[in-house]
Chain A
Amino acid sequence: MKQEMKGLLLEDRWAPVTSEMGFLELGAEQAAQAYATWAREVMTPRGITVEVLPVTGTLEQVLSSLLPLTSGERRRHLFIPTHSAWTAYVADQWTGTDAASPMSAMARRLSIRGLRVVAVPHTLRGNQGRYGAVMLEVYGPEQPGKISNTVRALGASNDGGRWVFDQSGEPFPFEQVEQYQARRVRDRFTFEMLKDYLRHLGLAPFEEDFYMPPGSCAWLIQKTGPFGTILQEYTLEEARAARVL
């Protein structure tokens, strides 16, 4: 069962890294420095050094600074400027970026908005391919009386064999809420809807020219030091062979 999803970023060549991305409503350098400050609070007592390094080039060139991809703990995180008020976030996890935890925590810490954006075509056939998912999570500043800072979450995903639709929070005025009643679960939140919602939020994250405005640079967070676990490294091709194809 294959689900078409045309118009993915870089034609999905950088999946699984870009299958999930984070966004912070902040300039790239500020976002990277704020993340590094937070990371140092946690990493320095363990003897781990956190550096912030500028990276220039095309989108694919700056994404290459994350390589090799790794298992275990995250060593590299990348903040990429865009033609908008938002900065993109990806990391070096070989199975794909986890944007949920860092974006949610940064949104609360900096009192700004953060996003988690997921677009994975459902290509599973036997033991090949991937479970499909379309997700959007919007985080915000700390809210008095609330534990979670998730402002809005929407997702249609195949959770290991069964399609599920999740939503929480108040809908935005631009949402096509009637679509959430669609008979097929996967039709309740589609890739087209995701793109439309993101356009309303001021993002075009599936278009290459949305990233790296002329004269700008991305910012790489590099952690070095005594990580506890055994590190395994993967090329992008190895990760794709295991996780995407």
Chain B
Amino acid sequence: MIQQILLIRKPLDVALWWASGPWEDLAHWSHPLSEWERKYAEAMSAQTVPEALRMWPLVTPQRLTLEQREDMEQRLGTGAAAAEGYAHWENRRRIVNHYVLTHPATLQQLLGVYGLARDFNPLHFALERGWQMGSGQEMFTEQKVSQLGAAQEFFTALAVGVAAGKLMTATRPVPGWGVPEPVGPGKVEAPPAPPRAVARAPEPAPAPAPPAPAPGTLAPSPELVQALTGKNPTPQVPVGSRLRQDVTVKPKVPKLRETDRPISPSPRQNAQLQADIKYLKDVLQAENIRVNQQQVTLANGQRVGINRPDLQFDYQGQRYHVEYDSLTSGRGPAHQSRLTNNDPDAIIIRIIIPEE
């Protein structure tokens, strides 16, 4: 996750990335914290960090609140393993929150909004400038300010206010001079309002949709094509024991969601995924295609895990699961084992997408 933060950097983009992926995909982010994540949390929650910037300490499975436990049971199931996984995910959430909220760009933005809100009310404006003239400090943030500058702002605003008042008085319409008087209730019907352009309500925070490479040139992944012709380049692994949270999952299968959703902040991975889906649908007539949804068996038979393969589909009576990874990601083998343990009949394909 620290790598992602370093890659994305901008706090708003990091928040959007978290909201669109890890926030929802809890299972993918429930493994133990990496060394970098631990170090970030330890450094930022240390007593030496000023209290206002200090991160909340790491949570342990025993210290989950009632609300967190309810959320955990719904999303990960019950038991010690689920609690531990949930605590890891919660700690990642705290790291992202801390990074976003204490980033200098965020603080600058908040100070700007504060200044605007403060100066909007004339009484606050006058009080604040009076305080600044007297003390040389901003009243709330205690930042140093110029006393002369504060006085200049105060008198300029006063002059503008007086001038505006005089102008309004001078241009006030006189009744009977061509301007219709206000219509009393029931006196005359008001003319129909002109057709109003209905403003479209703002859409919910969109998932970050990074620009994709030129789509016309994108061929299906060679690993996928080979695997579906019986020469899977991904060696299959022996079946092992299943995680408790996968064993206890309800077998009921949710409906498949639209497949245009991204699986990664990497534009290249998302574009390759869409090229592969197009190949599966149009050329091979593959069915039951799911993107980033919990693992299910052939023909939507049953749900077998809360893990979310990047892509899963049926082809010629066989269930396939596909994981897209970068060269440096070390999680591919663990994901493959989990997929196999949950559904030994399925075939797993791992596709490496070079990093940009």
- Same assembly: yes
Residues of A within 8 A of B (CB): 20, 38-39, 42, 46, 71-74, 93-96, 98, 100-102, 104-105, 108-109, 118, 120, 124, 127, 129-131, 133, 135, 137, 144-148, 150, 153, 155, 157-162, 164-168, 171, 177-178, 180-181, 227-229
Stretch at the interface among B46-54, B221-229, B295-303: B295-303
A160 near B306 with CB under 8 A, answer: yes
Task: Give the shortest distance, in Å, between A79 (CB) and chain B (any CB).
Answer: 16
Q: Which residue of B lies closest to A169 (CB)?
A: B260
* A111 to B: closest C-beta gap in Å: 13
Residues of B within 8 A of A168 (CB): 258, 260-261
B317 within 8 A of partner (CB): yes
Least distance between A78 CB and chain B CB atoms (Å):
15
A147 touches B294 (CB 8 A): no
| Docked-complex contact B299 and A95, CB < 8 angstroms | yes
Q: Is B271 in contact with chain A by the CB < 8 A criterion? A: yes
Residues in A neighbouring B300, C-beta threshold 8 A: 93, 95-96, 98
Task: Give chain A nearest CB distance to B229 CB in angstroms.
Answer: 12
Q: Which B residues lie within 8 Å of A229 (CB)?
A: 298, 316-318
Asked, given contacts A100-B259, A159-B293, whether A105 binds B299 with beta carbons under 8 Å apart, the answer is: no
Proximity string of chain B (287-317) to chain A, C-beta cutoff 8 Å, 1 when within and 0 when not: 1110001100011110100100000001011
With both chains docked as a complex, state the minimum distance between the C-beta of A141 and any C-beta of chain B, in angstroms.
Answer: 13
- Residues of B near A96 (CB, < 8 A) are 300
CB distance from B67 to the nearest CB of A (A): 15
Label chain B's interface by main secondary structure: loop
B residues near A104, Cβ cutoff 8 Å? 281
A95, A102, A120, A145: most-surrounded residue (chain B CB, <10 A): A95
> Does B286 reach chain A (CB closer than 8 Å)?
yes
Whether the pair A130, B75 counts as a contact (CB closer than 8 A) is no
A157 in contact with B298 given A42-B285, A148-B274, A167-B203 (CB within 8 Å) = no
What's the Cα separation between A105 and B318 when bound, in Å? Answer: 20
| Stretch from B96-104, B137-145, B171-179, B248-256 that touches the partner | B248-256
B282 in the interface, Cβ–Cβ < 8 Å?
yes
Q: A101-B286, A147-B212 are in contact. Are A164 and B204 (CB under 8 A)?
A: no
Contact of B107 with A by CB under 8 A:
no
> A145 and B215: CB pair below 8 A?
yes
Query: B257 on the interface (CB 8 Å rule)?
Result: yes
CB distance from B40 to the nearest CB of A (A): 28
- When chains A and B are docked, how far (Å) is the Cα of A98 from the Cα of B318? 16
